[in-house]
Structure 1
Amino acid sequence: MKHIRSFFSLVSILLLAPVCLNRPLLAEEAAISQAQALSRAFEGVATKITPALVNIRAVTRATPVVKRGRSNGRGPALPPGLPAPFRDFFERFGDQLPFDDGGRAPSQGLGSGVIVDSKGHILTNNHVIAEADEVTVRLSDGRSFEAEVVGADSRTDLAVIKIDAPNITPAKLGDSDQLKIGEWVVAAGTPFGLENTITAGIVSAKGRSIMGGNAYEDFIQTDAAINPGNSGGPLADLSGAVVGINTAIFSRSGGYMGVGFAIPINLAKSIMASLIEDGKVTRGWLGVVIQELTDELAESFGYSSQKGAL
């Protein structure tokens, strides 16, 4: 019997050995399979969002302003200590001499945008096209078009521009209210002029206010790499639907530090509709503003309770 038991024990060990040896291999294969599935998901997002992604070049021309006169309300002040002959000359003839107040230097800005319909409307940030004299849009397929500014809203930092272009592919607009913290998202844009760049990260937080005192701030925070040039580009979920418009970063260096912000697409949709319809956003005003009662304010009003409204 002992020999029989030993025989069966040996057989069991031999049969179980391949299973035990294969467990690490199976775990490794499962991990690789999961990584490949995530990689394919990112590839799918890039394929869907890139055709709707645009590069925006905004040019501001120089505007030197020439005026006449001195600064008794009409021109520059005479410097103190000016020798008497020169002072007499400028006081007598200064209002006839031209001077240049500096005007505005020429500048060129780069940003991103996303095509939102087949009519050529493009959603971007207001700060990308603000004060621009010329706006040029370059599509992902290399075609370039002059764009007109349809409307802009500085309070939400959103703007709509339009191009007259055939065969364009608008993006699918999603529902930012359904975003979950920790969910994967993809940012697309033109960081530092590098067109059609895709980066990935997660939703770090929702409902962020980064400037303070603005009732229209409701930013999505993400660690997807956002850099200068990404402004106005789309933030998309893994289905390829746009859930936000990349707008700002927190940085001590001017570049990516893992903290970026996007305007929720649900807010952008309502602003966009007003801009396309009227060229502006009209808001009502109730005459009431809610403000947090801080310790400093309570002390200034002689108010001891921590409850109440101003």
Structure 2
Amino acid sequence: MKVPHRRIGTTGPEVSVLSLGSWHTYDRMRFTDAVAMLRYAVDSGINFFDVGYYGGLVVDGKRVPETFTDVLFGQIMRAAGVPRENYLLSAKLWVNNYPEQSLSAQLDELLLRVGTDYADFAVLGDIAGLELDLPRLVEDLGDLVARGKLGSWGVNNWACADIRSAHEAAVAAGVTGPQLAQLKYSVVRRSIPDGAPFRRLTEDIGITLEASDVLEGGMLAGNLEPERMIGKDPGGIRGGIAEAAGRLAEIARSFEVTPAQAAVAFCLTHPATSTVLFGASRQEQLAENIAAVRLAQQHGSELRAAVADLWLDREVVDPEGPRSAVALDRG
């Protein structure tokens, strides 16, 4: 089947409801296999690819090893014969050292590594605990858009109040504000995307959702000891995921699907979802997840009801999200 497309936010691009991430993915694959997989993805209607330079980041106190997954992505797409205009590049930008490390310099470095001269979208890294000058930030992003280096932008795991503040700063500056929130969302993590604060944001400013960490690094698909580094564990619920994965497998069998398909389909049923982000290191995994689209279309409400008891971070994670020390003005 062809993967359908949905719009990001109110002014963002039309993207495939499934998108491929690069977090320690392409550097774990044989090059020829990666070329075949991404060619298959594009031919199946997937047009949105999340790419970042991750070397040097610190996750849960551990430094991320140097990686060339972004460099490989550009080479893979060229080898697959996919013209740049046939896919949308979503670039990761980090704000930990902003403004000393400018967004423009970061984006230029990433574009050089990928081998292109513009990004269709950018997702800003999380800002929990940071003090950030939002007016300056949104103006810098507006400048990148005006210069044709960037199409539009969103945020990764920001608190709902900070997203609203960014929107207000953008309105005041006369530039485009955040169009998408990339949030951890899965059958076990739902507090923020399913919470009232995020629902109000979708209603008030039209922001949409990119579901990420939907398989918990493969744990919800049955790989309870993933080899690759996986993301943060808000609420400290990871210890309960093995049991939840077992229950998800039982539920998936009742729908005659795999646990991964059930997990992806669940995320597709959120009313604000523009796209579900996941990593795949085998074409068989990709084909399996593509089949989840039909499951969501045909049995979405039944699936949501079946996994209701697997919500592990309910009343553990604040639905507002992790707050920053955002500065709304420079005065």
Which TM-score band (shorter chain)? under 0.3
TM-score (norm 1): 0.24
TM-score (norm 2): 0.23
Q: Would you tell me which structure has more helix in proportion to its own residues?
A: 2
Q: Would you tell me which structure has more strand in proportion to its own residues?
A: 1
Structure with larger RCO (C-alpha < 8 A, sep 6+): 2
